[in-house]
Every structure is written in C-alpha cells, then in structure tokens.
C-alpha cells in the first residue's frame, strides 16, 4: 500500500529523528527526505513541535502493538511473559539500526518535565510499567506495581547500557536480575513501597 504525503512526511521525520536526534534534524532535511516542500510539510504539520509529538505518538502505538505481540508469541504464562520481555528487548537492541529508546532520547533532549515532548515520553513508560504490573499481578505478586517499577528500571538501564556500548549483553544480564526480583516478589520477600511524590519544602529565607 502506497503512503500518502502526510504519511511519507511522518515516516521521513521518524527515521531522521530517531537516527540523528530531534534537535539535530531540521525541517528542510525532513522535507527533502519526504521528497516534498516545506510548504507542503507545514500544511500537515504546522510546526516542528507538532511533527515531533506526532512521531512519538505513532512510535508509541506501533511499538506497543509490536512488543506485546512479540512477548505473547514467546510465552503462554504471565511469568514466562515477564521474562520474555527481556528476550524481545535483547533482540530489538541487536538490530544494526538500534539507536536507543526514542522516548529516553527525546526526554534527554527536552529535560523539562512540563515540556510536551518530555510528557509524551514519560507517558510511554507509564503505559509500559502498567503493562508489566498487569503481568505481575497475574503471576500472583502481592506488590505488582513495585515489581513493575523494578523491572522497568532494569529494562531502561539495559537500553542505555547497550546504547553506550554495543553488544554488551545487557538484556541477558538484566533478565537474570529480573528472575531474582520476580521470585522474591512471588515469595513476598524484599517488598518495597512505591516512591511517593516529593513534598514541596522550599528553603526558609535566611
């Protein structure tokens, strides 16, 4: 199926944003890659910011559909799927085009929490942790949210580690640590409360 112009622009932008970085990619380069003009680009995406958000939203949707399908195809039990997550992540990180996580990268480029790009990136990992927590709950974990946070931290760390040094086998090491955490959670050992939101405590004036 051929892509319409709007889809071509989004595809070109997505490839450039991921491979080169968001700030390093200009609208001119995107228009050239999509074989169109800036005027046509702005017809569909009024600003670069709008295009960036569209890129992240589309990547979120596509990745989650692909990821869940891959995990489900590797294991039938909730516990097996929790561990399969690391296998899928490992295979994804092994592809030559791997440049890290688009959402971690975007959040690093736009570090302010109030920035729309940062918010969309944070939402991705909120959804991701909810997915893990659901599997953890199905396993019988009494602290599914806490386990989900722990496993998510392992995954995020593995992604960054692999981005810093390719072929680091980070996903397999993370999987081994995950197995320990999963077994401990199912046994009710070492449960930690979820971190609470920081309390606003401004310094007193001198």
Predicted confidence (pLDDT) per residue in 153-193, tens digit:
999 999 999 999 999 999 999 999 999 999 999 988 655 55
| Contact by Cβ (8 Å): 181, 139 | no
Rg (CA), the chain: 20
The CATH number of whichever domain residue 138 belongs to comes to 1.10.357.10
Closest alpha carbon to 51 in 71, 23, 19:
23
**Domain that includes residue 57, residue range:** 53-186
Give the whole-number percent of the chain exceeding pLDDT 90: 88
Is residue 102 assigned to a domain? yes
- Among left, alpha and beta (phi > 0; psi -120 to 50; other), residue 96 is alpha
Q: Are residues 117 and 41 in the same domain?
A: no
**Which residue matches tokens 């688009």?**
102
The structure's pTM equals 0.87
Between the CA of residue 203 and those of 62, 159, 194, 200, what are the distances in Å? 45, 37, 26, 10
Q: How many domains does the chain have?
A: 2
pLDDT in tens, 85-120: 999 999 999 999 999 999 999 999 999 999 999 999
Q: Let me know if residue 195 belongs to a domain.
A: no
Give the residue carrying structure tokens 């090491």. 173
């Amino acid at each position: 199926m051929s892509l319409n112009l709007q889809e071509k622009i989004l595809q070109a932008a997505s490839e450039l944003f991921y491979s080169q970085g968001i700030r390093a990619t200009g609208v001119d380069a995107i228009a050239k890659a999509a074989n169109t003009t800036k005027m046509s680009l702005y017809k569909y995406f009024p600003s670069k910011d709008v295009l960036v958000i569209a890129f992240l939203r589309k990547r979120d949707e596509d990745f989650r559909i692909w990821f869940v399908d891959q995990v489900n195809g590797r294991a039938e039990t909730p516990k097996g799927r929790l561990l399969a997550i690391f296998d899928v992540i490992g295979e994804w990180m092994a592809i030559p085009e791997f440049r890290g996580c688009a959402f971690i990268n975007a959040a690093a480029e736009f570090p302010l929490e109030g920035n729309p790009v940062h918010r969309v990136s944070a939402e991705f990992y909120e959804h991701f942790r909810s997915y893990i927590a659901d599997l953890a709950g199905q396993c019988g974990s009494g602290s599914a949210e806490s386990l989900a946070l722990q496993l998510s931290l392992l995954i995020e760390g593995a992604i960054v580690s692999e981005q810093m040094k390719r072929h680091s086998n980070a996903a397999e090491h993370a999987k081994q640590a995950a197995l320990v955490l999963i077994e401990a959670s199912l046994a009710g050992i070492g449960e930690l409360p979820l971190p609470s939101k920081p309390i606003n405590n401004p310094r007193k004036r001198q």
